[in-house]
């Protein structure tokens, strides 16, 4: 277990170094390519209830995706992380204007306030069809390296107990976040698919 943790830490540092070397323009460019791949994806086109993360600076930008979700009339859910635990909820986002009013966290991302009880939690209702998943690193077999808290692994575990079952999961990645192989443990949930800019041979 200690060896696995150490291996993950080394890899986290390496990926952070690679991503921090990207210019803002390059991050925007790759984000646009990856977003358009998602917009053509059959699982995205057919889903009604979708959860998507609001990106940090070192993640694929999701702003255009959120706009597209509302444009297509899908129901959008976003994470609310509890910093004191590994608990995360997916709460309904009502509109783009709604998003702009959300408070900023210490991670500089917007999320519904702790005392905001007016929003539907996805698993209290009809579950989710698709979760767009963030992460630090990914490999092509669906292994994911998160930031070490386990928010998504714990949430996907909850999804599996919902009558609807586990939603399809798609991760969004900069090419620099791809690895040969990610070391994983028993609690790490695999991602169904990783979208990134395919640069060919």
Mind listing the pLDDT tens digit for each residue in 60-81?
A: 999 999 999 999 999 999 999 9
Q: Which two tokens stand for residue 195?
A: 């979208």
Residue 112 — φ and ψ, nearest 5°? -60, 145
CA angle 19, 25, 28 (to 5 degrees): 80
Q: Is the dihedral of CA 81, 85, 86, 88 positive or negative?
A: negative
Domain contains 201:
no
Domain contains 200:
no
Q: Which residues are annotated as a binding site?
A: 8-12, 54, 59, 144-152
Domain count, the chain: 1
Q: Which residues are annotated as a binding site for substrate?
A: 54, 59
Domain contains 140:
yes
Domain contains 105:
yes
Confidence of residue 200 (pLDDT cuts 50, 70, 90): low
> Looking at the predicted structure, is the pLDDT value of residue 43 above 90?
yes
> Looking at the predicted structure, is the pLDDT value of residue 138 above 90?
yes
Comparing CA positions, the residue from 101, 15, 17, 108 lying closest to residue 54 is 108
CA distance 1 to 5: 6
pTM given for the model: 0.94
- Show the DSSP H helices in 23-150 as ranges: 24-39, 42-46, 63-71, 96-100
Q: Helix, strand, coil proportions of the chain in percent (round to 5)?
A: 35, 20, 45
Q: Which residues are annotated as a binding site for ATP?
A: 8-12, 144-152
Comparing CA positions, the residue from 24, 21, 38 lying closest to residue 192 is 38
Identify the CATH number of the domain in which residue 176 sits.
3.40.50.10420
Domain contains 33:
yes
By residue range, what is the domain housing residue 102? Answer: 2-195
């Amino acid at each position: 277990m200690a060896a696995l943790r150490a291996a993950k830490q080394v890899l986290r540092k390496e990926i952070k170094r690679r991503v921090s070397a990207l210019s803002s323009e390059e991050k925007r460019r790759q984000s646009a390519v990856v977003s358009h791949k998602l917009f053509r994806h059959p699982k995205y086109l057919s889903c009604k209830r979708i959860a998507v993360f609001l990106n940090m600076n070192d993640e694929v930008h999701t702003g255009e995706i959120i706009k597209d979700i509302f444009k297509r009339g899908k129901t959008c859910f976003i994470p609310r992380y509890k910093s004191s635990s590994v608990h995360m909820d997916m709460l309904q986002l009502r509109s783009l204007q709604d998003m702009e009013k959300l408070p900023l966290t210490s991670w500089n991302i917007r999320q519904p306030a702790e005392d905001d009880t007016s929003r539907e939690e996805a698993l209290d209702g009809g579950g989710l069809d698709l979760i767009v998943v963030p992460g630090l690193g990914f490999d092509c077999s669906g292994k994911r390296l998160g930031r070490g808290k386990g928010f998504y692994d714990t949430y996907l575990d909850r999804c599996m107990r919902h009558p609807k079952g586990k939603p399809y999961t798609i991760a969004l990645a900069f090419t620099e976040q791809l690895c040969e192989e990610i070391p994983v443990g028993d609690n790490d949930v695999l991602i169904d698919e990783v979208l990134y800019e395919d640069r060919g041979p």
